[in-house]
Amino acid sequence: MAYSEDYRQMILSKLEKGDSFRKLAAEYQLSPVTIQRWKKNPKRKQRVFRPLKIDNQKLIEDVATYPDSYHHERAIRLSCSPRGIGMALKRLGISQKKDP
């Protein structure tokens, strides 16, 4: 659970006024280690999200442009994982058929 920066600053200001880690932890139902981490770095970590799905149109264009590419080559061009390419191609119904 992420706490707001205002909440963190309020607890850290009480810590600076002389309250102990244990007292604040018991009062706000937090771990003393959490408060210690906030004291070291009061800013919240920013999570970096990668796109969950590959753009279908870009993938279709890539398949048309490079029909013999491997999944790992497509993954580099589209900035995703080879497994993601395989799942997206399956979702679109595109498969590589072998000639007999």
**CB neighbours of residue 94 within 10 Å:** 11
Tens of pLDDT along 24-65? 999 999 999 999 999 998 888 777 766 667 889 999 999 999
DSSP annotation of 53: S
pTM for this entry: 0.48
Structural domain spans, the chain: 5-40, 56-92
Tens of pLDDT along 65-96? 999 899 999 999 998 999 999 999 998 998 87
